[in-house]
Structure 1
Amino acid sequence: MNLLHPYYIIAIVYMLFFSIQEVFGNKVEKKWFWFLAIYLILIVGLRDNVGPDYGSYRGIYIYSDTKEYINIFRKALHIEGSENVEIEWLYALINKILLNIFNAPFYIVTLVVATFAMIFKVEYTEDNTFYPFTFTLFMFIPNFFIGESGQIRQNLGTFVIYFAIRYIKERKLLPYLFWVFIATGIHNVCYLFLPMYWLVKLPLNRTTMLVLILGSVFLSPFEVYRVFGDFLGSLTADSMLVEGFNGYIDETAQRLNGGFGIPEAMMAILTFFLFAFDKKMEEKYPYYEYHKVFAVFGICMYFIFRNNPVFSSRMAGAFIGFAYVIIPNAMYVVSSNGKKLIYSFIISLVIFNFIVFASFRNIVAGRFTIDLYKNHILP
Structure 2
Amino acid sequence: MHLLHPYYIIAIIYMLIFSYQEVFHGKVEKKSLWILGVYLMVIAGLRDQVGPDYGSYRGIYVYSDTKLYISIIMKALGMQGPQPMEVEWLYVFINKILLNIFNAPFYILTFVIAILAVYFKVEYTRENTFYPFTFMLFMFIPGFFIGESGQIRQNLASFIAYFGIKYIKERKLIAYLICIYLAAGIHTVCWAFLPMYWLVRIPLNKFVMLSLIITSILLSPFEVYRVFGSWMASIASDSTVALGLNGYMDESVERLNGAIGIPEVMMAILTFFLFAFDEKMKEKFPYYEYHRAYVVIGICFYFIFRNNPIFASRLAGAFIGFAYIIIPNAMYVVSANTKKMIYSFVIALTIFNFVVFSSFRNIVAGRFTWELYQNHILP
TM-score higher than 0.5 here? yes
**Aligned counterparts of 1:92 and 1:257: Cα–Cα separation in 2:** 43
**Aligned counterparts of 2:251 and 2:107: Cα–Cα separation in 1:** 31
How far residue 254 of structure 1 moved from its aligned partner, in angstroms, is 7.8
Partner of 2:181: 181
* Contact kept? 1:189, 1:236, Cα under 8 Å: no
Partner of 2:33: 33
* Contact kept? 2:19, 2:134, Cα under 8 Å: yes
Over the aligned positions, Cα root-mean-square deviation in angstroms equals 1.4
Give matches, 1:326-337, under 5 Å: 326-337=326-337
**Aligned counterparts of 1:298 and 1:236: Cα–Cα separation in 2:** 18
How far residue 231 of structure 1 moved from its aligned partner, in angstroms, is 1.4
- 2:330 aligned partner, one-letter code: A
Describe the superposition over 1:231-258 as per-residue Cα deviations: whole angstroms up to 9, x where unpaired: 1111232133122121233269983996
**Aligned counterparts of 1:66 and 1:257: Cα–Cα separation in 2:** 49
Partner of 1:54: 54
* Contact kept? 2:236, 2:242, Cα under 8 Å: no
Give matches, 1:219-230, under 5 Å: 219-230=219-230
- 1:292 aligned partner, one-letter code: R
**Aligned counterparts of 1:257 and 1:82: Cα–Cα separation in 2:** 52
**Aligned counterparts of 1:355 and 1:235: Cα–Cα separation in 2:** 31
Partner of 1:103: 103
* Contact kept? 1:169, 1:287, Cα under 8 Å: yes
* Contact kept? 2:76, 2:89, Cα under 8 Å: yes
- 2:113 aligned partner, one-letter code: V
**Aligned counterparts of 1:252 and 1:370: Cα–Cα separation in 2:** 20
Note if 1:2 corresponds to 2:9.
no
Partner of 1:202: 202
* Contact kept? 2:53, 2:150, Cα under 8 Å: yes
Equivalent pairs counted in the alignment come to 379
Q: 1:153 to 1:257 in 2, by over 3 A?
A: farther
**Aligned counterparts of 1:156 and 1:67: Cα–Cα separation in 2:** 22
Partner of 1:261: 261
TM-score by length of 1: 0.98
How far residue 230 of structure 1 moved from its aligned partner, in angstroms, is 1.7
Partner of 1:21: 21
Note if 1:277 corresponds to 2:315.
no
Q: 1:133 to 1:11 in 2, by over 3 A?
A: same
How far residue 39 of structure 1 moved from its aligned partner, in angstroms, is 0.5
* Contact kept? 1:46, 1:111, Cα under 8 Å: yes
- 2:212 aligned partner, one-letter code: L
* Contact kept? 1:44, 1:148, Cα under 8 Å: yes
**Aligned counterparts of 1:31 and 1:320: Cα–Cα separation in 2:** 28
TM-score by length of 2: 0.98
Partner of 1:79: 79
Gaps of 5+ in 2: none
**Aligned counterparts of 1:39 and 1:251: Cα–Cα separation in 2:** 29
Partner of 1:127: 127
**Aligned counterparts of 1:132 and 1:236: Cα–Cα separation in 2:** 31
Describe the superposition over 1:179-231 as per-residue Cα deviations: whole angstroms up to 9, x where unpaired: 11110110000000000000001111000010000110011011111111121
* Contact kept? 2:252, 2:356, Cα under 8 Å: no
- 2:191 aligned partner, one-letter code: Y
**Aligned counterparts of 1:237 and 1:376: Cα–Cα separation in 2:** 30
Note if 1:288 corresponds to 2:279.
no
Q: Secondary structure at the match of 2:164?
A: helix
Partner of 2:249: 249
* Contact kept? 2:3, 2:369, Cα under 8 Å: yes
Taking only the aligned residue pairs, the percentage that are identical comes to 71
**Aligned counterparts of 1:252 and 1:194: Cα–Cα separation in 2:** 31
Q: 1:252 to 1:186 in 2, by over 3 A?
A: closer
Describe the superposition over 1:95-137 as per-residue Cα deviations: whole angstroms up to 9, x where unpaired: 0010111110000000000000111011000111000000000
* Contact kept? 2:50, 2:374, Cα under 8 Å: yes
Q: 1:251 to 1:43 in 2, by over 3 A?
A: closer
* Contact kept? 2:5, 2:370, Cα under 8 Å: yes
**Aligned counterparts of 1:172 and 1:338: Cα–Cα separation in 2:** 37
**Higher deviation after alignment, 225-234 or 75-84:** 225-234
**Aligned counterparts of 1:136 and 1:316: Cα–Cα separation in 2:** 20
Partner of 1:342: 342
How far residue 2 of structure 1 moved from its aligned partner, in angstroms, is 0.0
- 1:342 aligned partner, one-letter code: I
**Aligned counterparts of 2:239 and 2:253: Cα–Cα separation in 1:** 22
* Contact kept? 1:250, 1:360, Cα under 8 Å: no
- 2:296 aligned partner, one-letter code: V
Describe the superposition over 1:355-374 as per-residue Cα deviations: whole angstroms up to 9, x where unpaired: 00011220101000000000
- 2:266 aligned partner, one-letter code: M
* Contact kept? 2:277, 2:330, Cα under 8 Å: yes
* Contact kept? 2:251, 2:360, Cα under 8 Å: no
* Contact kept? 2:89, 2:186, Cα under 8 Å: yes
Q: Secondary structure at the match of 1:185?
A: helix
Q: Post-superposition, which runs of at least 4 consecutive aligned residues in structure 1 deviate over 6 A?
A: none
